[in-house]
């Protein structure tokens, strides 16, 4: 969109916005509309010289600028915002539907009412949106319990299964927020054992007790930025390189990989970060003949030794 | 430069909104400031026409419904106007909790194009008088994202145009070109899919947006097909990827204190012997093998054999360390 079109959209929207709010402070309007006060004043200057054909004093848009407030006194017919474009309607409706499908939502009815109203206001834009559907993860009792603890501001004692290390541990956590990323719901909380913010996948919380003491995350407990997903590879995590056959290529869709390189022999060389080598051993063993460890060497030998030990357990040498 | 252009466009919108009659380009040129020229001068006239074409394109891009037509059969040249009803966002009254939900929804997108569309949509609602508290939360925050294919595919669904795209599956070495009449785009448990009629397979198919390689091309005319009304797209996708019902039972022995991932999914536990329900031998075998000697299959024999078959090639590979040498 050109700068002029962009600005046209902005000023056409500004008129009805101001009409609905006589005497609004320019700074507040600018905040609300995501522009600077200077840009907004400039837009007002522009509108002031526009109007109905004839372009006489009674035809031009008029307003009273009183210090830092503004009131539109004549709108020249620009009294309503433009309709939502198909993309605007779609973006709002898909986000509302995702919200409505989110487990543990406190005010689902408000989201559903809002969605119905946006759909009816969007008109034709809603037709396509009707063909863009969203179904979220299933709601569970666990979600309701965690939601309750968040609402009451209480700490939780949980028994949590850490898949990376295949262990369950008890810990006391200070809940911060409930999140849904992809197929899973998570509790983000301050973990008093780890003394850090942690994400707990709700389906891996095996036991949960709400404590009488309040949830009190320390000031340094900041919500995580989850734009890149819930697994944030870090340099201190072991780097694993595998050569995978066709049958194991699915891992490149399932886990975040740092590098995927097809090889002349048809295998793919895959590099990824493992949260833990225990996890990597389990992954590689599960892939069987379809994966070969390139590195680290201790993973290769551990996997081979694991397999021999397992065969021994079946009475096979 | 941009300012005088915007001024001209605002005046054009006001002029065309205020007229019931269709105005010809010549009438518009004589009325709206910024279009003045001498129609008799060929070069000037041509410059005006170019300018007017560009302005019309800009208005349409912005979503301004520019109508073209004539008032009577005697008019030879088509004129322009903007219908107020088509232009204006209909009345929207949102209760505070509803407005809070919309405000939150508009912030959820992790996709630049749609995040921008959501916030400009929200600004229109604000202009319609809706007050949105930017701080509102609803206690949960889903992350809403979509792959680059989402925008062209939803446009194709809207325009009912066929698409052509390269699709990469893990099993294939090279992406394959596919042709589809897209009926709809659905998100199931955090993944986006497009469902439609596959023109090559001549059957209903769904595709994962994350597997699209390269751009989506819209091909052919709009309104080229009619999506069937009776197909529930989400159910179709859910059914395509559903795991078969777990009707079989396996019995495995766990080493004390180990195999916790298996233990917690067991439906019956008797000390270190647990029972698991499953549907597919190979996928359960793959999961059990991961635990090495910590999990030993007792029954059924076919599962036991599948696990052993997977272990043999790994055991025969180089590597002499004992498992205890790797710390975890």
Q: Is residue A253 part of a domain?
A: yes
Q: Within this chain, do residues A123 and A185 fall inside the same structural domain, yes or no?
A: no
A178, A198, A214 - which closes a domain: A214
Residue A228: predicted pLDDT:
62
Q: Which of A165, A197, A214 is the last residue of a domain?
A: A214
Mutual angle of helices A3-19 and A37-48, in 10-degree steps: 90
Nearest CA among A27, A86, A38 for reference residue B120:
A86
Which tens digits make up the pLDDT trace of B107-128? 888 777 888 999 999 999 999 9
Instruction: Establish if A233 belongs to a structural domain.
Output: no
CA distances from B301 to A3, B265, B307 (A): 71, 21, 10
Strands, DSSP E only, in B120-223? 140-142, 162-167, 176-188, 191-198, 203-208, 212-219
How many domains does the structure of chain A reveal?
Answer: 4
Please check the confidence at residue B323 and state whether its pLDDT lies above 50.
Answer: no
Mean pLDDT in residue range A187-191? 94
CATH second-level architecture of B150-241?
Roll (2.30)
ipTM of this predicted structure? 0.82
Helix or strand run (H / E) with residue B81? strand B79-82
Interval B174-216: pLDDT, tens:
899 999 999 999 998 888 999 999 999 999 999 999 999 999 9
- Confirm whether A135 is domain-assigned: no
Which of A82, A107, A302 lies closest to B124 in CB terms?
Answer: A82
Residue A186 belongs to a domain: yes
**Would you say residue A229 lies in a domain?**
no
Residue A163 has pLDDT above 90, yes or no: no
Looking at every residue in chain B, the average pLDDT score rounds to 89
Interface test with A, best of B1, B83, B170, B314 (most A CBs within 10 A): B314
One domain for residues A247 and A207: no
Range in B79-83, B257-261, B307-311 with the lowest mean pLDDT: B257-261
CATH architecture for residues B2-87 = Orthogonal Bundle (1.10)
Residue A22: pLDDT band (50, 70, 90) is very high
Of the candidates B164, B5, B96, B89, which has an alpha carbon nearest to the alpha carbon of residue A118? B89
- Contact call for A8 and B189, based on CB within 8 A: no
- pLDDT exceeds cutoff 70 at A1: no
Mutate which: B23, B156, B170, B298, vs A, most A CBs within 10 A? B170
Query: Do residues B204 and B236 lie in contact, with contact meaning Cβ atoms separated by under 8 Å?
Result: yes
CB of A116 within 8 Å of a chain B CB? The answer is no
Distant-in-sequence contacts of B170-178, Cβ < 8 A, 24+ apart: B170/A246, B170/A249, B170/A250, B170/A252, B170/A253, B171/A246, B171/A249, B173/A262, B173/A266, B175/B213, B175/B214, B178/B207
- Distance of alpha carbon B124 from alpha carbon B328, whole angstroms: 55
- pTM attached to this predicted model: 0.83
- pLDDT confidence of residue A57: 86
Which of A214, A247, A279 terminates a domain? The answer is: A214
A288: CATH: 3.30.70
Chain A nearest-CA residue for B123: A33
Q: For residue A222, is it within any domain?
A: no
Residues A306 and A281 in one domain: yes
Asked whether residue A219 is domain-assigned, the answer is no
For B10-32, the pLDDT digits (tens) are 999 999 999 999 999 999 999 99
- A131 touches B at CB < 8 Å: yes
Q: Which domain holds residue A31?
A: 3-74
Average pLDDT over residues A235-257: 88
The shortest CB-CB distance from B88 to any of A80, A111, A113 is to A80
Q: Is residue B327 very low, low, confident or very high in pLDDT (cuts 50, 70, 90)?
A: very low
**A to B CB pairs, distance under 8 Å:** 403
Q: How confident is the model at residue A229 (pLDDT cuts 50, 70, 90)?
A: low
Residues A67 and A107 in one domain: no
Q: Name the pLDDT band for B324 (thresholds 50, 70, 90).
A: very low
pLDDT of B71 over the 90 cut: no
Q: Using a pLDDT cut of 70, give the percent of chain A over it.
A: 97
Distance between alpha carbon B199 and the CA centroid of its chain, in Å?
A: 21
Between B2, B128, B171, which is nearest A3 by CB?
Answer: B2
The answer on A205 and A151 residing in a single domain is: yes
Would you state the pLDDT for residue B326?
44
Say which range, A23-32, A216-225, A239-248, B10-19, has the weakest mean pLDDT. Answer: A216-225
Task: Report if residue A301 sits inside a domain.
Answer: yes
Residue B12: both structure tokens together: 């054009």
Same domain flag for A70 and A93: no
């Amino acid at each position: 969109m050109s700068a002029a079109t962009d600005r046209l959209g902005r000023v056409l929207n500004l008129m009805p916005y101001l009409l609905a709010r006589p005497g609004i402070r320019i700074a507040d309007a600018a905040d609300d509309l995501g522009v600077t006060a200077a840009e907004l004043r400039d837009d007002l200057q522009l509108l002031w010289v526009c109007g109905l054909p004839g372009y006489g004093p009674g035809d031009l848009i008029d307003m009273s600028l009183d210090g830092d407030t503004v009131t539109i006194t004549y709108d020249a017919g620009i009294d309503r915002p433009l309709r939502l474009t198909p993309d605007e309607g779609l973006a709002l409706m898909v986000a509302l539907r995702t919200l409505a499908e989110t487990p543990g939502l406190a005010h689902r009815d408000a989201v559903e009412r809002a969605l119905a109203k946006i759909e009816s206001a969007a008109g034709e834009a809603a037709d396509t949106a009707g063909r863009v559907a969203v179904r979220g993860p299933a709601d569970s009792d666990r979600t309701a319990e965690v939601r309750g603890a968040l609402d009451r501001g209480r700490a939780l004692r949980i028994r949590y299964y850490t898949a990376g290390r295949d262990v369950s541990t008890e810990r006391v956590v200070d809940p911060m927020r409930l999140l849904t990323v992809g197929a899973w719901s998570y509790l983000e909380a301050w973990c008093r054992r780890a003394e850090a913010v942690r994400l707990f996948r709700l389906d891996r919380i095996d036991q949960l007790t709400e404590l009488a003491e309040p949830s009190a995350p320390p000031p340094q407990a900041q919500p995580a930025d989850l734009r890149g997903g819930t697994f944030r590879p870090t340099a201190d995590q072991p780097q694993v390189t595998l050569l995978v056959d066709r049958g194991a290529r699915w891992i490149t869709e399932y886990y975040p990989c740092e590098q995927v390189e097809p090889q002349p022999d048809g295998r793919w060389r895959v590099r990824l970060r493992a949260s833990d080598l225990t996890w990597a051993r389990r992954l590689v063993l599960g892939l069987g003949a379809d994966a070969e460890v390139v590195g680290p060497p201790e993973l290769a030998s551990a996997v081979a030794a694991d397999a021999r030990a397992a065969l021994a357990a079946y009475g096979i040498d | 430069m941009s300012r005088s252009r915007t001024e001209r466009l605002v005046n054009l919108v006001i002029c065309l909104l205020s007229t019931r009659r269709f105005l010809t380009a010549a009438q518009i040129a004589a009325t709206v400031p910024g279009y003045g020229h001498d129609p008799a001068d060929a070069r000037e006239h041509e410059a005006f026409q170019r300018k007017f074409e560009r302005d019309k394109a800009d208005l349409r891009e912005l979503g301004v419904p520019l109508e073209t037509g004539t008032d009577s059969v005697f008019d030879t040249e088509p004129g322009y106007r903007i219908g107020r009803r088509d232009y204006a966002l209909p009345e929207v009254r949102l209760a505070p909790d509803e407005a809070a939900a919309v405000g939150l929804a508009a912030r959820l997108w992790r996709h630049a194009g749609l995040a921008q569309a959501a916030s400009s949509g929200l600004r229109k609602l604000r202009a319609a008088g809706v007050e949105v508290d930017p701080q509102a939360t609803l206690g949960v925050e889903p992350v809403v994202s979509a792959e680059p294919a989402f925008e062209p595919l939803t446009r194709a669904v809207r325009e009912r145009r066929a698409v052509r795209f390269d699709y990469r599956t893990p099993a294939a070495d090279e992406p394959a070109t596919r042709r589809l009449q897209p009926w709809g785009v659905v998100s199931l448990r955090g993944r986006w899919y497009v469902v439609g009629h596959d023109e090559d397979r001549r059957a209903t198919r769904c595709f994962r947006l994350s597997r699209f390689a390269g751009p989506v091309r819209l091909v052919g005319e709009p309104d080229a097909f009619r999506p069937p009304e009776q197909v529930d797209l989400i159910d179709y996708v859910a059914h395509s990827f559903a795991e078969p019902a777990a009707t079989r039972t396996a019995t495995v022995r766990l080493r004390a204190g180990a195999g916790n991932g298996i233990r917690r999914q067991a439906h019956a536990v008797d000390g270190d012997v647990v029972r698991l329900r499953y549907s597919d031998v190979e996928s359960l075998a793959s999961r059990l093998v991961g635990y090495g000697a910590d999990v030993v299959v007792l029954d059924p024999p076919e599962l036991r054999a599948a696990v052993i078959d997977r272990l043999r090639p790994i055991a025969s590979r180089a590597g002499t360390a004992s498992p205890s040498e790797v710390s975890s």
